[in-house]
Amino acid sequence: MANRLTQNDDTVRATQGILFDARFLESFAGQNILHDHKTAIMELIANAWDAGATRVDITWPDGANGGQFSVSDNGTGMTKDEFSTRWRTLSYNRLASQGPDAEFPADVDVRRRPAFGRNGIGRFAGFCFGSHYLVDTWRDGQCYTFRVFRDDNTPIGVELRATSAVEKHGTKVYVLEPFHVPLSPVQARAEIGMRFLTDPDFMVHLNAQRIDFSDIHQRHLRSEELQLDGEHQVTVTVIDTHATDRTTKQHGVAWHVCGRLVGDCSWEGTHRQSLLDGRTMAAKRYTFIVRADCLLDAVEKDWSAFVPDDALFQRTSDLVYARIRTFLDAASDDDRKATLRKAVERSSPELSRMSARSVIKWKSFVTQVQQECPSIQEKDVIKLSGVMARLENASSKYALIHQLSLLNTGQLDNLNEILETWTLDMAKEVLDEIRSRLQLVEELRVRIFDKKTREVQELQPLFKEGLWIFGPQFETIEFTANEGMTKVIQKLFDKEIKGTRNRPDFAILPDGSAGLYSYPRYDDDTGGEVGTDRLLIIELKNPGVRVSTKEKDQCWRYVRELYEKGLLIPRVSKVTCYVLGLEVDPLECGPTTHGDGDVRIEPLTYLTVLDRAKSRLHKLSDRVRNAPFLREKREDIDRFLSERPGPGNLFEATPVDSGSSST
């Protein structure tokens, strides 16, 4: 090949270096370090922390100091070679080169201090304050002055400006002509105070004034006194940054004893149990400082930890960590609610098309995701909630069941017109729902004749979950337990009735129980509630109570009381009452109406209502499974149903003993 180059070619080659676009440093170091002054100053202070400094002095631009900016510390400093290597190396691996802990000067009482740095990006923070900056660093009797700058060819340039003899150690980063800094000295002091007060041995001064708790605004700070054994007092101070930092460094629980930090500031509690997942937003937002001078005798000699088996420390830590957990639980709950509100706003178009039952299901899903996945970010929760909302609207299995339930026997022959718009996956959803309903019917049937069932009141919560049993008009989830109406019924009886406080959603009566389920009526103009539109009363009678005239009249007595209390509106509110028992008087088995037909009271045996529901569900199941568009997928459907959990195959045809329900 004519263009092929070999070792024998006389072609002159020019070796060219890699070129960097002006945007490279922004993408490599991040926008915040280069343009956010709050982030930049934290990175520069963190560098001093990693260098083993005990004091940092900051000159912040204001009218008094001529607009200068500098950060100086009394840490270890660097030699010329160390500075050149660390500042010139992109993606500098501090962990491999210097280890995970800070490096202390020789004249400092050395103890462990976890380092911030990992990738060496903090050195770029000086560019937030100027187009170039100077670094003076002193170590081993020598001072080196470097100029750090940016140009068109390299992300960062370094040049040695001066060398001198100095008998001290430390580093100073400064800008002679800084950019405009929008963050005021007061704001800078507050931001620094929220992050660098965990270790009393690490002091930060800004414009010659030491930063302390008084620099933090009260909305970010709160304290609580805890009493122990009536003689010891512990102060717990929580700092809330109201924002999440990049890491958990300087966040967690810091124990102070006699003005000194014991161990590290971290989220690790006693017995190495984590108080908070470090990946959560709260772990990068809160800091707890515990002042416990009473524990001086419980501190290890090197101040690295407390004596683990010290009795006073054990009691104190149990008290403190319990209080911190309570705070974090409440704070996390507030965060979850705020995220849920944002998710509701984002998904409002989808939610407006859902039924109330679907909305409740959707909210429950979002809340459960937040609780079980604490590390999930808010933006991901909102995205996931949007997907769930679209899926719920797309499947709409309840809508199909409702449509099917409204069809009479003749109309079921035209079922294909409905099913033509439904997919295989939607049919699976519907069949799965029908199966769960059949299981509920079977559970009710077993409970009715089970002598171990404590009381008939145990059936009421199950019927609450199956209002659809009484007909398609009760399919909607808008029917919810009405506690206010229940209390009215409870007051109709002269004596105290057991269990009413434990089950406020239904009334426990001397001969059974009554559950009241309603949905509100809304004003067409304002959209506000104007009363009760529909009320369903399910009264369950104990075994041995034969449903007859007395029991039907008792139900009407409840309704009259509700009208008198103004909870029902004559000629507006529709009321349906079902009185259920093991036996119904044959002469009183028909329904009774009151109030021009607005109130309907119907007695039924347990078996009658359950057999009706089961028969209807089997018919729906058969119609869906045998729909023309599913015939080619019958094996898939049967395999799907066989894999569903539950006792036996509830979809197998079972005879309905109509005679057993005619009593």
One-letter-per-residue 3-state SS of 442-510: HHHHHHHHCCCCCCHHHHHHHHHHCHHHHCHHHCCCCCEECHHHHHHHHCCCCCCCCCCCCCCCEEEEC
Question: Quick one: 260 and 370 in the same domain?
Answer: no
- CATH code, domain carrying 478: 3.30.300
* Helix (H/G/I), strand (E/B), else coil: 342: helix
Q: What's the pLDDT score for residue 497?
A: 46
* Helix (H/G/I), strand (E/B), else coil: 377: coil
CA distance 242 to 221: 10
Q: What's the pLDDT score for residue 283?
A: 78
Question: Quick one: 46 and 163 in the same domain?
Answer: yes
The owner of tokens 């009185």 is 579
One-letter-per-residue 3-state SS of 191-230: HHHCCCCCCCCCEEEECCEECCHHHCCHHHEEEEEEEECC
Question: Quick one: 178 and 50 in the same domain?
Answer: yes
Q: What's the pLDDT score for residue 25?
A: 83
Terminal CA-to-CA distance of the chain, rounded, Å? Answer: 101
Helix-helix angle 424-449:634-642, to 10 degrees: 40
Please say whether the beta carbons of 436 and 620 come within 8 A. Answer: no
Question: Quick one: 300 and 163 in the same domain?
Answer: no
In 3-state terms the chain splits into helix, strand, coil percentages (rounded to 5) of 40, 20, 35
Question: Quick one: 311 and 179 in the same domain?
Answer: no
Question: Quick one: 302 and 377 in the same domain?
Answer: no
Domain limit, last residue, from 325, 359, 394:
394
b/e string for 403-439 if b means 16 or more Cβ within 10 A? ebbebeeeeeeebeebbeebeeebbbbbbebbbebbb
Q: Is residue 51 part of a domain?
A: yes
Q: Is residue 559 part of a domain?
A: yes
Question: Quick one: 309 and 366 in the same domain?
Answer: no
Question: Quick one: 302 and 353 in the same domain?
Answer: no
The owner of tokens 């607005």 is 598
Q: Is residue 316 part of a domain?
A: yes
Q: Is residue 15 part of a domain?
A: no
Q: What's the pLDDT score for residue 526?
A: 58
Q: Is residue 578 part of a domain?
A: yes
Question: Quick one: 175 and 49 in the same domain?
Answer: yes
What pLDDT digit, counting tens, does each position of 219-265 carry? 888 889 998 877 889 999 999 888 777 777 778 898 999 888 888 88
Rounded to 5°, angle at Cα 435 from 429 and 440? 130
Low-confidence ranges of the chain (pLDDT < 70): 1-17, 63-66, 110, 152, 270-273, 276-280, 355-357, 374-375, 393-430, 432, 451-457, 472, 475-478, 493-505, 523-529, 621, 623-663
Q: Is residue 18 part of a domain?
A: no
Q: What's the pLDDT score for residue 653?
A: 37
- CATH code, domain carrying 303: 3.30.230
The whole domain housing 260 covers 217-335
Separation in Å, CA 248 to CA 48, 133, 329, 485? 18, 29, 18, 51
Question: What DSSP character marks residue 283?
Answer: G
- CATH code, domain carrying 179: 3.30.565.10
For residue 350, is it left (φ>0), alpha (ψ between -120 and 50) or beta?
alpha
Q: What's the pLDDT score for residue 206?
A: 94
Question: Quick one: 179 and 252 in the same domain?
Answer: no
What pLDDT digit, counting tens, does each position of 588-605 carry? 888 999 988 899 999 999
CA distance 122 to 144: 20
Q: Within the chain, how many helices (H) and strands (E) appear?
A: 18, 20
Helix-helix angle 37-50:185-193, to 10 degrees: 50
Q: What's the pLDDT score for residue 468?
A: 78
Q: Is residue 82 part of a domain?
A: yes
Question: Quick one: 28 and 131 in the same domain?
Answer: yes
Question: Quick one: 164 and 76 in the same domain?
Answer: yes
**Structure tokens belonging to residue 322:** 């319990």
Q: Is residue 144 part of a domain?
A: yes
- For 150, other C-beta atoms within 10 Å of its C-beta total 18
One-letter-per-residue 3-state SS of 593-618: EECCCCEEEEEEEHHHHHHHHHHHHH
Q: What's the pLDDT score for residue 119?
A: 75
Count of domains for the chain: 4
Domain limit, last residue, from 335, 357, 373:
335
CA distance 499 to 508: 7
